[in-house]
Amino acid sequence: MAMSVALKQFEKRDPVPAKAGAGLKAEHVDEILRSRPQVGFFEVHAENYMGDGGLPHRQLSSIRDTYAISMHGVGLSIGGEDPLNKDHLARLKRLQDRYEPALFSEHLAWSSHGENYYNDLLPVPYNSAVLERVCDHIDELQEVLGRSILLENPSTYVAFEQSTMSEIDFLSAIVQRTGCWLLLDVNNVYVSATNQQTDPDDYLDAFPIAHVGEIHLAGHAQDQDEAGRLLLIDSHDRAVDDAVWGLYERLIARTGLIPTLVEWDGDIPAWPVLKDEMDKANALMVRPRARHQPQERVAVPA
């Protein structure tokens, strides 16, 4: 497969600054608009704004007047076997044109098959056939939007026997073939490594950092598998775990400043609690990094 044809330059009002941001929640909008906190950006799930009007759009329009926006899709099913839904693509295009997000991201996952839609982001095996399909879907999405997207690494719970390459090699191949960028979710790295008994530091050391345009941090829950072994769930319903903060600190020392989102999607806390998590990320970004030299990176094209 050849790389996508040259993408049109997408003019946006504001780039995402290399600071911490938060997922925008309806519970926080009034307080945010009243206090105007120093927040790098807000991220929204595109599927929450697929309607034509109403309170969600009024709130997002007010936020967009002051803050940069990163738009994150969770329902396109880029990894699925079926063709991308044309109606869904058209809605994403309308949202992008309406709000001019500085960044647009999607998941390396599938969530639909035929007429069935699943309330989860399901992983894919890493082999040449799936690579071809995912690249075709990313090419189509980028052509519709007229811009490069960011693709997020998944949280996984099992490994596929059908996989013939590593996740790192799979993501690197996607970047080379489509020209897309990457959203590096550090919590997903830790969850996957714990569940599959691998080393998250080794994963991050091998990750194609030069192509990362955004980082995600989130909390996870603990469970057990059938054998009684620790199983982590990417729950987004609590504060970021200390182990994930440690991985992030080591990562950011190597990369330099990258826009970083704190996700908290369930059991939503009061705004000051989420703001404290962002402040912690900002503090780690500016901490002296005497032991590491940031790796040279290229700015994410719009």
Interval 199-245: pLDDT, tens: 999 999 999 999 999 999 999 998 877 777 888 888 989 999 999 99
Give the CATH number of domain 20-286: 3.20.20.150
Position 301 scores a pLDDT of: 55
Position 161 scores a pLDDT of: 72
Return phi, psi of residue 5, to 5°.
-60, 160
Position 6 scores a pLDDT of: 35
Largest CA distance in the chain: 54
Identity of residue 43: E
* Cβ-contact 102, 70 below 8 angstroms: yes
pTM here is: 0.88
Position 169 scores a pLDDT of: 96
Distance, CA of 187 to CA of 151 (rounded, Å): 15
Q: Tell me which residues of the chain have a pLDDT lower than 70.
A: 1-14, 110-121, 158-160, 288-302
Distance, CA of 67 to CA of 40 (rounded, Å): 7
Q: Distance of CA 140 to CAs 12, 36, 90, 165, 187, Å?
A: 21, 38, 12, 24, 28
Position 109 scores a pLDDT of: 82
